[in-house]
Structure 1
């Protein structure tokens, strides 16, 4: 599922549609069984690897999401045909450094759908899958803030930080950036700071590290968390 960033009509959501979205998301939250994913073998675990681009690092200080990209993965299989991407409407002038970093301009974002619509479509795409992101605190902070502000619903999806996998598989490594992780694993780097392309690079890393962890006897998320807890 690739979302055309200009698919949605301009304007705010109608009250009835907004209420339907809130009801859907709250029902999804009630039905989620995140604990059940803990013991599924990593080779069988369905995950959605995603990335967001933002105007800064601090959602509580007004920084906002300007694009979301995601792709479905099962074990070592990346489902190229099953992806999500959308720009997000932003009315303020973008900082020059954000335009330089992401390649996005004010013109790109002015007719994009609002965050309420993009997040709703994103959560419909995600359903109750486990989420994966590179250094996931950034994504988590923005999704928590937006989910509560827009829908008065908590962000309850399990979110796996890829840094856990790096630390577990290569405890003596000093991999920090996405570029460093990709170069270390001979993954060709392309389209950096485009949300969907960064999600695809992270998906390639997920595939590599699932295999590395299995060789170490770490078969599930539960195994991973137990090893990390041992410290």
Structure 2
């Protein structure tokens, strides 16, 4: 038992370091890119541009209908067979961004459609053009509506980054596997890394609640 606690104590700073320097950056970079993709895709669908709308719907259909792990394998292990080599970390960022972008696009699209149609007409009545109405009137309301769901998706992404271990990204779970292979304390180490994921998720949940309160207060002004 003493040996187990020693392994846990020794591995904690190593796992936490990997979490802060690899897992969290992978999550934040991927989520930021995903939001850009999601906003573009949602706006295209909201604007009802015929051809582009169908392309966006096809993208969402394919990405949401295939497993994230398979997408990782296609990019990291599949592309080299056709002469395209992608390093592990960029491959993970690419896949997580595209995957999350599809889910977030539907969240934002739903939030856009929840804004009353009269808001657009009101903006035109005061002399705003389409871009100004979207930026100053529609998007702030959309963001407030979508914020809780996007926060939940961010939490899910933190946990999903553990799948990046399958393509050799040295994130937190990959590091736990390495230590477990050396010490044979698999149960203790996997429970430990689970607790660290829980800590990260809890912190994001607290930030999410804080953001929701702030946005709620802003909306009442």
User: Please, what TM-score do these two structures have when normalized by structure 1?
Assistant: 0.23
